[in-house]
Structure 1
Amino acid sequence: MDRIRIRGGNELNGIIPISGAKNATLPLMIASLLTDDTLTLENVPHLADVEQLTRILGNHGVDFSVTGKRLRQESGFGRTIHFTARNIVDTTAPYDLVSKMRASFWVIGPLLARMHEAKVSLPGGCAIGTRPVDIFIDGLRALGADIDIEAGYVVAKAKGGLVGNRYRLPKVSVGATHVLMMAATLAKGETILENAAREPEIVDLATCLTAMGAKISGAGTSTIRIDGVRSLSGARHRVLPDRIETGTYAMAVAMTGGDVTLTGTSVDLLPTAVETLARAGAVVTPVEDGIRVYRNGGGISPVDVVTDPYPGFPTDLQAQFMALMTRASGTASITETIFENRFMHVQELARLGARIQLAGQVARIEGVPRLKGAPVMATDLRASVSLVIAGLVAEGDTEVSRVYHLDRGFERLEEKLGRCGAEIERISS
């Protein structure tokens, strides 16, 4: 099992290219099930989740090509992948595939919309909370689907096709918004989704679906309207930059000091995180084709944050910000409102010398003058990169194990950090 070794103490200076967003790429890939034409996606990152979802889509009959090569043969950052679902050969998404990645459950929407049936295993994924699929099921039922749970599978049918309806999500859910928006594109009549997620990835999917012929308005607001059409065509779409990767590297620079330009991204993608970083002592300014990040000359100031759906502070940056606050000159608090088990990185940060107290969904972080390297273990995707950020300033060596979590969501992390002066290497077992 691979590990990453970091020797702390180096500032970061240079340029880091920001990859296409994982959280946009996955629903965009799934959208290929909605049409028998080819959907071409540009700026697709090299990630384990992308390869896993490609296998899952292949199980349904989706063909793919990467400029004539298979996935693992492509070099460089970002790829162009062509997905063609000309013939759906299977409407079942089996447990052995879906259990490895939660987002693969989302195939249920396009399969129902196009094939009028789907049998999808209940999902797996990171152990950061229960994240139930009841909103997905209730929303699809509102669109006319007949759904039962049988032996760990969601069995859905829509004889004659889905029918547009008004549906209010009981809580904001990015995944459910993705699925219901995709399903509604081929439903008969108008669908109105209320209390919808507003994330940039929702807007990106809507933009792609519109290019495919869908009629969607209101994406990026809490009310999305979809007028169903008879069929969708192929399209070419460029995946938006990864705002979580952007925020992660910005926090790494704030932690270590130095001066880094993050290219191919924008401050507009994460306004609350940028404002929070400024309060912590980082300078984040837009430049041509990206963002410049450096410290303001002082130390790291403590900042209290509460995670919230977009445009609030992202839960996917909570662990990284906690790592930053371990070196703050004072005490900060982080309140996690999205996932109930997303503090598993606390004990691993404590192994590096962090002082963190937990009380329910609130973590209080008392900044310390130094961290010391130690062996630590990643527990989920975002927690794993928080350990890397802490390791960048810890005295001595930090070894992060179970880095397959990192490979799910960060494209060539050690290469990008290494180019900017970090002493970091991957150790293969």
Structure 2
Amino acid sequence: MDRIKVVGGNQLNGIIPISGAKNAALPLMIASLLTDDTLTLENVPHLADVEQLVRILGNHGVDIAVNGRRERQGEGYARTIHFTARNIVDTVAPYELVSKMRASFWVIGPLLARMGEARVSLPGGCAIGTRPVDLFLEGLSALGAEIDIDGGYVNARAPKGLKGGTYRFPKVSVGATHVLMMAATLANGTFEIENAAREPEVADLAKCLNAMGAKISGAGTGHIVIEGVTSLSGARHRVLPDRIETGTYAMAVAMTGGDVFLENTSADLLDAALDAVRAAGADITPTNAGIRVRRNGAGIEPVDISTDPFPGFPTDLQAQFMGLMTHSKGRAHITETIFENRFMHVQELARLGAHISLSGQTATVEGVARLKGAQVMATDLRASVSLVIAGLAAEGETVVNRVYHLDRGFERLEEKLSNCGAEIERISG
């Protein structure tokens, strides 16, 4: 099993290219099920989750060509991928595939809309919380679907097609917003989603769907209106930059000091997170080509944050920010409002010498002047990279185990950091 070794103490200086967003790429790939034409996606990151979804879509009959060719090329780099779902050969998403990645449950929307039926395994539990699918099922029912659960599978049917209507989310759900928006594109009539997720990835999906012939307005706001059409065509779409990767590297620079230009990204994608990094003492300069992040040797200021749906502070950057705060000059409070079990990185950061106490959904971080390298274990995707951030500033050697979590969401992390002066390497086996 691969590990990542980090020897701390080096500043970061140079350029880091930001990859396409995993959280945008996955729903965009699933949207290919809505048409029998080819959907071409550019800037698709090379990640374990993307590869898993390629296998899942293939199980449904989607023909997939990378860079126009069958064989892999440019291993480890963003790619252009062509998805053609001319013939859906199976409307069942089996447990053995869905259990490996929760986002694969999202195929239920396009399959139901296009084929009139879908049988999709319940995704099961999750390391960072229960994340139930009840909002998905309530929303699909509002679209006119007949839903029942049997033997661990959701059976969804709409033999006469989906229909217009309205659904208001009792709480914001990014995944369910994706699914309802995709399903409603082929509904009979107009469907309105209230209290919809406003994340940039939702707006990116709507942009792609509209290029395919959908009629969606309001994406990026809390009220989305979808006027159903009879069919969708193919399109070409570029995946937006990964705001979580952007924020992660901004926090890494704030942790180590240095001067790094984050290339091919936009500050508009994560204003709240960048504001927190600024408050911690880093200089953030947005440009048309990316974001420059600098920090001198003045030290890290403690900053209180609370996670919230967009445009608030992203839950997917909470662990990384906690890693940054472990080295601050005071006390910081970090409150997690999205997931009920997203503090598993606390005990691993403590192995590096961090002082963190928990009370309910709030972590109190007492910054320390000295972190010391140790063996640590990644418990989930974002927790894994928080340990890397802490390791970059720790004295001596930090070894992060179970980095398969990290490979789900960060493309070429060791290469990007080492190119900027970090002493970091992957140890295989």
The AA in structure 2 aligned to 1:142 is A
Q: Secondary structure at the match of 1:55?
A: helix
Aligned twin of 2:64: 64
Partner of 1:263: 263
1:9 aligns with 2:9: yes
Query: CA deviation digits over 1:324-365, x for unaligned, max 9?
Result: 000000000000000000000000000000000001100000
On the 8 A contact 1:185/1:227 being kept in 2, the answer is yes
Q: Is the 8 A contact 2:68 2:81 kept in 1?
A: no
Runs of 4+ in structure 1 deviating by more than 6 angstroms, as ranges, are: none
Q: Distance in 1 between matches of 2:49 and 2:364?
A: 32
Cα deviation 1:343-401 (Å, max 9, x = unaligned): 00000000000000001100000000010000000000000000000000111110001
Query: Aligned equivalents of 1:332 and 1:324: distance in 2?
Result: 10
- The unaligned stretches of length 5 or more in structure 2 are none
1:368 maps to 2:375: no
Q: 1:146-225, aligned counterparts within 5 Å?
A: 146-225=146-225
Q: Is the 8 A contact 1:101 1:125 kept in 2?
A: no
Residue identity matched to 1:148? D
- Judged with a 3 Å threshold, the aligned counterparts in structure 2 of structure 1 residues 198 and 422 are, in CA distance, closer, same or farther, namely same
Aligned to 1:422: 422
The 2-side partners of 1:410 and 1:124 are apart by 24
1:283 is matched by which residue type in structure 2? D
Q: Compute the TM-score of the two structures, normalised by the length of structure 1.
A: 0.99
Within 1, Cα distance between the matches of 2:270 and 2:68?
A: 35
Aligned pairs, how many? 429
Provide the secondary structure at the position in 1 that maps to 2:376.
strand
Does residue 234 (structure 1) correspond to residue 234 (structure 2)? The answer is yes
Q: 1:71 to 1:48 in 2, by over 3 A?
A: farther
Give the match's secondary structure for 1:190. Answer: strand
Counterpart residue type for residue 37 of structure 2:
D
Q: Given the alignment of the two structures, is residue 387 of structure 1 paired with residue 390 of structure 2, yes or no?
A: no
Deviation at 1:60, TM superposition (A): 0.3
Please tell me the residue identity of whatever aligns with 2:149: I
Inter-partner Cα distance in structure 1 for 2:161 and 2:68: 36
Q: CA deviation at 1:159?
A: 1.3
Deviations 1:46-65 (A, max 9, x none): 00000000000000000110
Identity of aligned residues (%): 79
What is the Cα deviation at residue 147 of structure 1? 0.5
- Superposed CA deviations along residues 145-164 of structure 1, whole A, max 9, x for unmatched, are 00111111111001111001
Q: Structure 1 pair 258/70, CA: closer, same or farther in 2 (3 Å)?
A: farther
Equivalent position amino acid for 1:335 in 2: T
Residue range with higher mean Cα deviation, 368-377 or 68-77:
68-77
**Counterparts of 1:272 and 1:290, CA distance in 2:** 17
> Residue in 2 aligned with 1:142?
142
Offset at residue 288 of structure 1 (A): 3.9
TM-score normalised by the chain length of structure 2: 0.99
Q: Report the alpha carbon displacement of residue 295 of structure 1 after superposing the two structures with TM.
A: 1.0
CA contact (8 A) 2:68 2:82 kept: no
1:244 aligns with 2:222: no
Secondary structure at 2:207 match in 1: helix
Equivalences for residues 9-408 of structure 1 within 5 A = 9-70=9-70, 72-75=72-75, 77-124=77-124, 126-408=126-408
> Any stretches of 5+ residues in structure 1 without a counterpart?
none
- Answer yes or no: is the 8 Å Cα contact 1:32–1:38 preserved in 2: yes
Between the aligned partners of 1:71 and 1:90, the Cα distance in structure 2 is 24
Displacement of 1:77 in angstroms is 2.8
Partners of 2:75 and 2:285 lie apart in 1 by 30
- Is contact 1:101–1:124 with CA below 8 Å preserved after alignment? no
- Give the root-mean-square deviation of aligned CA atoms: 1.0
Deviations 1:56-114 (A, max 9, x none): 00000001101244474334631100000000000000000000000000000000000
SS of corresponding position for 2:241 = coil
Measure the CA separation in 2 of the matches of 1:188 and 1:29: 24
Residues 59 and 3 of structure 1, relative CA distance in 2, 3 Å threshold: same
What SS does the aligned partner of 1:61 have? coil
